[in-house]
Amino acid sequence: MIILGIETSCDETAAAIVRDDRSILSNLVNSQLDEHRPYGGVVPEIAARSHLDHIDGLVDRALRDANMEFDDLDGVAATGGPGLIGGVLVGMMTAKAIALVHTLPLMAVNHLEGHALTARLTDAVEFPYLLLLVSGGHCQLLSVTGPGAYVRYGTTLDDAVGEAFDKTAKLLGLPYPGGPAVEQAARSGNPNRFDFPRPMRGRPGCDFSFSGLKTAVARTFRAATQDENVVADAAASFQTAAGEALVDRTRNAIERFRAENPNGDTLVVAGGVAANAHLRTVLGNLATDEEFRFVAPPPALCTDNAAMIAWAGIERLRLGLTDTLDFAPRPRWPLNELRVAS
Ligand code: KG4
Ligand code: ZN
């Protein structure tokens, strides 16, 4: 089974071709970073227009890189939400047109499910597993028992962790996009210089909160001596605090997951923030302490890409979970509203 995947929900236009033996035959991403950088964030209108400019060429190149034509495909999958609606419309309409013209099954993939199932593409992880999904818009702990089958253990009460990285970067004067810039600055910083709060630490449950941490960084940074290390030290101190907050909540989730899934023993981390090396290390250490297997996809498959959408399409097509040409893109689409195999 060979599937074309399309991803257009935020600021990367992406196309990929993936086979059901888990091989990625092509995987292209056109980042719009340069177009959004002057505004310090993603501008939805610019994003949608840029997707429209690039998607046809990317699909064409994805086929050529894989040495294939449309006739070699068994289906087409595109992100159907959640995300910026203008972009999702562009990707979904492209997929619908391809499906219609070449008589292929269509899969409207939930972007979060794309992240959630990536570890099955990269590491053949079996269900069930515990998932920490950390991206620009989401911060959730979920038990995953099959495609479409998610039980949410916790979510953020305010900001997503990626958002906290992005906002911290902005107030430290680091370049856009914030997550990688904070990680880079933190490398030469002292993580013990500032004692930032570890939000929710020690409390029961699996919810997160990051707005207090962000506010503490702002307040402390302004009051601090502006020496040559202050930015790196603040970045490192922030990253360490965020890591401890994630570890603390994930530890509670492991406990619950273990009680509900006696044969489950895997912690998976996914989403753009999972590209962060420090967070991968501390979560890996937690898993070791808890005698869990730890799986983090390679960084390029943590941030937005179309291989994960193609793979989720493969998983859904195998179960007969296809969509019709009247599928309506969904700007909001929580993981507990997915169709599952009956
Ligand atoms: O999954 P993703 O690419 O897009 C969404 O679905 O949101 O995640 C983007 C988020 C951004 O907040 C970005 O700053 C963050 O992931 N991010 C990182 C790193 N790379 C990307 N955060 C921390 N460290 C990184 N290396
Ligand atoms: Zn994403």
Task: Give the per-residue pLDDT at 177.
Answer: 85
User: How much distance in Å is there from the Cα of 105 to the middle of ligand 1?
Assistant: 31
User: How much distance in Å is there from the Cα of 273 to the middle of ligand 1?
Assistant: 4
Neighbours of 97 (CB within 10 A): 13
How does pLDDT run across 126-142, given as a tens digit for each residue?
999 999 999 999 999 99
Residue given tokens 């702002």 in the structure block = 218
Tell me if 7 CB under 6 Å of ligand 1.
Answer: no
Q: Is the pLDDT confidence value at 249 over 90?
A: yes
Q: Mean of the pLDDT values across residues 272-292?
A: 98
| All residues at 6 or more sequence positions from 106 whose CB lies less than 8 Å from its CB, including other chains | 75, 76, 77, 78, 95, 96, 99, 322, 323, 324, 325, 327
Atom number of ligand 1 nearest to Cα 9: 6
Q: Give the pLDDT band of residue 115 (cuts 50, 70, 90).
A: very high
User: How much distance in Å is there from the Cα of 220 to the middle of ligand 1?
Assistant: 24
Atom number of ligand 1 nearest to Cα 166: 14
Q: Give the pLDDT band of residue 145 (cuts 50, 70, 90).
A: very high
Q: Give the pLDDT band of residue 342 (cuts 50, 70, 90).
A: confident
Residue nearest to atom 16 of ligand 1 (CA): 272
The CA-atom distances, in angstroms, between 94 and each of 70, 82, 85, 115, 335 are 13, 17, 14, 21, 24
Q: Rounded distance, CA 170 to CA 69, Å?
A: 44
Q: Mean of the pLDDT values across residues 269-278?
A: 98
How does pLDDT run across 165-220, given as a tens digit for each residue?
999 999 999 998 899 999 999 999 999 999 999 999 999 999 999 999 999 999 99
Q: Which CATH architecture has domain 2-116+301-337?
A: 2-Layer Sandwich (3.30)
Task: Give the per-residue pLDDT at 323.
Answer: 98
Fold agreement between 2-116+301-337 and 127-297 = yes
Half-sphere exposure of 29 (CA within 13 A, CB side): 17
**Mean pLDDT of all residues belonging to the chain:** 97
How does pLDDT run across 30-63, given as a tens digit for each residue?
999 999 999 988 999 999 999 999 999 999 999 9
Q: Is the pLDDT confidence value at 254 over 90?
A: yes
User: How much distance in Å is there from the Cα of 341 to the middle of ligand 1?
Assistant: 31
Task: Give the per-residue pLDDT at 176.
Answer: 85
Q: Is the pLDDT confidence value at 149 over 90?
A: yes
Burial tier of 329 (Cβ tally within 10 Å: 0-12, 13-18, 19+): buried
Q: Mean of the pLDDT values across residues 313-331?
A: 98
The CA-atom distances, in angstroms, between 195 and each of 228, 241, 254, 290, 309 are 19, 8, 27, 27, 40
Domain 127-297 has CATH 3.30.43.10: no
User: How much distance in Å is there from the Cα of 262 to the middle of ligand 1?
Assistant: 32
Token readout for 303 is: 């941030």
Task: Give the per-residue pLDDT at 40.
Answer: 87
Q: Is the pLDDT confidence value at 285 over 90?
A: yes
Tell me if 168 CB under 6 Å of ligand 1.
Answer: no
Q: Are 114 and 144 in contact (CB under 8 A)?
A: no
Tell me if 248 CB under 6 Å of ligand 1.
Answer: no
Quick one: what percent of the chain has pLDDT higher than 70? Answer: 100
Q: Is the pLDDT confidence value at 92 over 90?
A: yes
| SS3 (DSSP) at 188 | coil
| SS3 (DSSP) at 269 | strand
Q: Give the pLDDT band of residue 109 (cuts 50, 70, 90).
A: very high
Token readout for 299 is: 């960084």
Domain boundaries, the chain: 2-116+301-337, 127-297
Residue given tokens 């709060």 in the structure block = 197
Backbone angles phi, psi at 193, to 5 degrees: -65, -40
Atom number of ligand 1 nearest to Cα 160: 12
Q: Rounded distance, CA 276 to CA 297, Å?
A: 11
Nearest to 313 by CA among 82, 97, 80: 80
Tell me if 159 CB under 6 Å of ligand 1.
Answer: no
Residue nearest to atom 22 of ligand 1 (CA): 179
Nearest to 168 by CA among 189, 152, 147, 146: 189
Alpha-carbon 261 to chain mean position? 24
Quick one: what percent of the chain has pLDDT higher than 90? Answer: 98
| All residues at 6 or more sequence positions from 285 whose CB lies less than 8 Å from its CB, including other chains | none
Residue given tokens 């090396």 in the structure block = 277
